[in-house]
Amino acid sequence: MLHFPELNRGKCKTYLVACARTKKALLIDPVRDHISRYLAFLAYHQLTLDAVVDTHTHADHPTGSFQLRDLVDARLIMHRRAPAPGVTHHVEDGDEIEVGEARLRVLYTPGHTPDSISLYGDGHVFTGDVLLIGGTGRADFAGGNAGQQYDSITRQLFTLPEETLLFPAHDYRGNTCSTIGCEKRQNPRIAGRTRSQYVELMASLSFPMPDKIQEVLQPNQSAIDDDRAKFPDLAELNRVRQLNGDEVCALLASSDPPLVLDVREPSEYNGELAHIAGSVLIPLRELVGRVAEIESHRGRRIVAVCRAGVRSTTAAAILEGLGFERVYNLKDGMVEWNDRKLPVER
């Protein structure tokens, strides 16, 4: 496996690995502003971009993955709990990503976000934002969970060989590389702490929100990148009422069942996760323009549904802003619905 220097030379880190024989390459966590740089680098080294991986849904910069996927017909790989449509390959813990003859093993490491993964191979581990050099990623928004993060670090990453070279998706202190052994012994955020101590510590920290988080996070979650799009703000999203799968099932079996509004893309609606019987499909990007189609249901309960519960939260907030008063979101979406083996229609 060929390894190259980090490509951005900034706080956000993008890495490139490639197969020495086939010259097929993989980009990890590309930033949209640097797409031209990546393409030039690939051309200079006579590499073909075969795949792009986002280790998680980013909140501080627009991902370059969607554009790279379309420009060079590369595979776009994320964890199966990633909310964005257009991911061509969903992976889970233990899966292998093949790039020519190179192999990277997927480690599911949630905590920073529900879809966080790390990639391990050839003595290197790319940890996204779950474990940083001398720190850990925040766990206070976008579905973060400090307890899960502690488990991911101690039960997954810290079980790798101590000499494993560690490359995070961010660094704010000028570091370029560490090792698993060094972080186990010296990382001030987690070394020597119990799980409860770590959770308490993370709850006590006050992190500033990333700049332009709304303009960044929503397009990264939805793959809708349109200057005309008006997304609800975080306060509106946080007010959306959430229902789990069992609660939605009970409502559907009641004498007053809700309208299930599926806001995925048509290919997802009829794809591997299928859909809830009787649901109405209106993709999120079309919702505002097609709201008249559900106007007759204004007084009825409406449950918004998507892949992982993120786009549908946005849809529910949009509907509430348009005066619909009985709107709910299916928490964790069709991924969790399928995991719980609740009924679907194919």
DSSP string, 187-248: -TTTTT--HHHHHHHHHH--PPPPTTHHHHHHHHHH----TT-----HHHHHTSEEE-HHHH
Q: Match 């529900």 to its residue by tokens.
A: 114
Are 235 and 196 found together in one domain?
Answer: no
| pLDDT value at residue 318 | 95
Our measurement of the distance from residue 65's CA atom to the centroid of its chain's CA atoms, rounded to an integer in Å, reads: 12
| pLDDT value at residue 226 | 65
Domain count, the chain: 2
Residue 210 lies in a domain: no
CATH of residue 106's domain is 3.60.15.10
CA distance 24 to 98: 10
Are 171 and 255 found together in one domain?
Answer: no
Are 288 and 326 found together in one domain?
Answer: yes
Are 162 and 15 found together in one domain?
Answer: yes
* pTM for this predicted structure: 0.93
CA distance 317 to 320: 5
Residue 87 lies in a domain: yes
Number of Cβ within 10 Å of residue 214's Cβ equals: 15
**Backbone angles phi and psi of 142, in degrees to 5:** 55, 35
Residue 220 lies in a domain: no
Are 175 and 49 found together in one domain?
Answer: yes
Q: Beta 2-3 vs 15-18: how paired, if at all?
A: antiparallel
Are 300 and 248 found together in one domain?
Answer: yes
Are 162 and 262 found together in one domain?
Answer: no
Q: Beta 75-79 vs 89-91: how paired, if at all?
A: parallel
Number of Cβ within 10 Å of residue 238's Cβ equals: 11
Three-class secondary structure of residue 103 per DSSP: strand
Are 95 and 167 found together in one domain?
Answer: yes
Range of the domain at 190: 2-204
Are 194 and 260 found together in one domain?
Answer: no
* Residue 189 vs residues 33, 112, 154, 339: alpha-carbon distances, Å: 31, 14, 12, 33
Is 32:212 a contact under the CB 8 Å cutoff? no
Are 247 and 311 found together in one domain?
Answer: yes
CATH of residue 238's domain is 3.40.250.10
Residue 193 lies in a domain: yes
Under DSSP, the state recorded for 51 is: E
Are 177 and 60 found together in one domain?
Answer: yes
Residue 72 lies in a domain: yes
Residue 221 lies in a domain: no
Residue 263 lies in a domain: yes
* Residue 277 vs residues 249, 260, 339, 340, 343: alpha-carbon distances, Å: 11, 9, 17, 16, 8
Average pLDDT per 10 consecutive residues for the chain, totaling 346 residues: 92 96 98 97 97 96 95 97 95 98 98 97 97 96 93 98 98 94 97 97 89 80 73 87 97 97 96 97 95 96 97 95 96 97 96
| pLDDT value at residue 31 | 97
Residue 198 lies in a domain: yes
Structure-token pair, residue 278: 């009787």
| pLDDT value at residue 231 | 78
Q: Exposure pattern of 273-294 as b/e (b: 16+ CB <10 Å)? A: bbbbeebbbbbbbebeeebeeb
| pLDDT value at residue 104 | 98
Burial group, residue 46, by CB count within 10 angstroms (0-12, 13-18, 19+): exposed
Are 50 and 199 found together in one domain?
Answer: yes
